[in-house]
């Protein structure tokens, strides 16, 4: 049984504007590491951001663990978002804050604003933050400012922050595009290992097809907002890739 079901998802950014997603449907199971691939402008990032309603769909259904999140009000949407971890292309860290404080910000959906502002996090939260920082290899960087870190280290902070949410789903929006190839492979490998350890399914917008083929068990191929492929990675071949990227502007 899928934990995430997307049905006939459509998006326009304005009433008279072009349709960005055109009836996209797919299912994500508990152990899936899904890649979303396609040329620039295909709608990959829009699709990822619809799942937690950072982008509001025009129509369709997004059902996460049996709950259609498109019908939720502000309070219930906040509750659902707590369980959706997101890892960003540009890391989205607060540069002037320490590594520890950036990681603890993953608990903002669970604590009050004043608690966060005054850094009055519980001992349990601090202990968990130390545990996840150790898991991503940053135990020696707890008190460093985020802007003192390398790109790979900054993305590890982003991973740790997402884990602090106790996520039921991880969304990755181009998590490796700002990294060199060696570090990108290390980061994606780490995310895959952690997702397996924590039992969290992953939906990953990724521009590097080779990395998608190497690390993901299923692939969605988008072209101009239309789903061109949806299936196991091993069924992807050159002909299908050529079809997906037929409109790529070189």
Dump pLDDT digits (tens) for 127-164: 999 999 999 999 999 999 999 999 999 999 999 999 99
- Among candidate residues 8, 50, 1, 96, the one with its CA nearest the CA of residue 203: 50
pLDDT for residue 88: 87
- Torsion region of 65: left, alpha or beta (phi above 0 gives left; psi -120 to 50 gives alpha): left
| Total Cβ atoms within 10 A of residue 78 | 12
pLDDT for residue 99: 94
Q: From CA 216, how far away is CA 201, in angstroms rounded?
A: 11
Dump pLDDT digits (tens) for 16-70: 889 999 999 999 999 999 999 999 999 999 999 999 999 999 999 999 999 999 9
Arithmetic mean of pLDDT, 221-233: 96
Q: From CA 59, how far away is CA 225, in angstroms rounded?
A: 14
Compute CA distances 49 → 1, 55, 56, whole Å: 23, 5, 8
State the angle between helix axes of 123-135 and 151-163 in degrees (0 to 180), rounded to the nearest 10.
140
DSSP state of 166: -
Domains annotated for the chain, with CATH where assigned, are: 1-83+167-250 (3.40.50.300), 96-163 (no CATH)
Report yes or no: 13 and 58 within 8 Å, Cβ to Cβ.
no
Can you give the pTM of this predicted structure? 0.91
């Amino acid at each position: 049984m899928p934990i995430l079901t997307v049905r006939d998802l459509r998006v326009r950014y304005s009433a008279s504007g072009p349709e960005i997603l055109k009836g996209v449907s797919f299912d994500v199971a508990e152990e899936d590491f899904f890649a979303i691939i396609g040329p620039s402008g295909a709608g990959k990032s829009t699709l990822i951001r619809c799942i937690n309603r950072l982008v509001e769909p025009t129509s369709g259904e997004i059902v996460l663990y049996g709950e259609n999140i498109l019908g939720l009000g502000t309070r219930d949407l906040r509750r659902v978002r707590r369980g959706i971890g997101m890892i960003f292309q540009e890391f989205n860290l607060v540069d002037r804050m320490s590594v520890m404080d950036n990681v603890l910000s993953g608990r903002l959906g669970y604590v009050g604003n004043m608690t966060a502002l005054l850094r009055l996090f519980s001992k349990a939260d601090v202990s968990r933050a130390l545990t996840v920082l150790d898991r991503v290899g940053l135990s020696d960087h707890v008190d460093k400012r985020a802007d003192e870190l390398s790109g790979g280290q900054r993305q590890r902070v982003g991973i740790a922050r997402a884990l602090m949410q106790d996520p039921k789903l991880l969304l990755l929006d181009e998590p490796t595009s700002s990294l060199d190839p060696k570090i990108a492979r290390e980061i994606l490998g780490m995310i895959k290992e952690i997702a397996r350890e924590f039992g969290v399914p992953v939906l990953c917008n990724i521009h590097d097809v080779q990395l998608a083929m190497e690390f993901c068990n299923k692939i969605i191929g988008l072209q101009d907002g239309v789903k061109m492929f949806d299936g196991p990675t091993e069924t992807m071949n050159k002909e299908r890739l050529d079809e997906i990227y037929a409109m790529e502007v070189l």
